[in-house]
Amino acid sequence: DTGVSQDPRHKITKRGQNVTFRCDPISEHNRLYWYRQTLGQGPEFLTYFQNEAQLEKSRLLSDRFSAERPKGSFSTLEIQRTEQGDSAMYLCASSPGQEQYFGPGTRLTVT
C-alpha cells in the first residue's frame, strides 16, 4: 500500500462553482479525517468518519460543505458555491487508531 492519496492535487475554480475532492485512505484504516489548512497556519479539523459513519463535524464545516464515505472506503468532500475564503489546502488523513497518516492534500484556489 502506498499511503493516502488525494485527487486532484490542485484545483482552480471560479467563485460560485462546485468542487469535489477525493481521498483514498490506507486500506483497512477505519478512521478518516478531513482538514483544511491555510497559508502559515496549522491544519484545522473539518470532519471525521469511522467506517461509513460521519461521527463529527467542525463548526468550520458550513452547510456548503458535505462529505461522504460510502462503504467505508474512499471519501469525497464537496464544496458548493465556492467563495474566495475557501481557498486553502484540503488534507485527508486515515488512521487505524492512534496515529494519523496524511495524504499530500488538494490545493484549492478560488478566483
Partner 1 sequence: DAKTTQPPSMDCAEGRAANLPCNHSTISGNEYVYWYRQIHSQGPQYIIHGLKNNETNEMASLIITEDRKSSTLILPHATLRDTAVYYCIVSTGFTNAGKSTFGDGTTLTVKP
**Contacting residues toward partner 1, per CB under 8 A:** 4, 31, 33, 40-45, 48, 56, 91, 93, 95, 97-105
For the CB of residue 14, give the shortest distance to partner 1 in the complex, in Å: 24
CB count, 10 Å around CB of 10? 10
Q: 63 or 99, CB closer to partner 1? A: 99
- Minimal distance, residue 31 CB to partner 1, in Å: 7
The rounded Cα 37 to chain-centroid distance in angstroms is 10
Please name the residue that has the C-alpha cell 472506503.
73
Q: Cα–chain-centroid distance for residue 63?
A: 15
> Smaller CB distance to partner 1: residue 29 or 80?
29
Q: Are 76 and 21 in contact (CB under 8 A)?
A: yes
CB of 108: closest distance to partner 1 in angstroms?
15
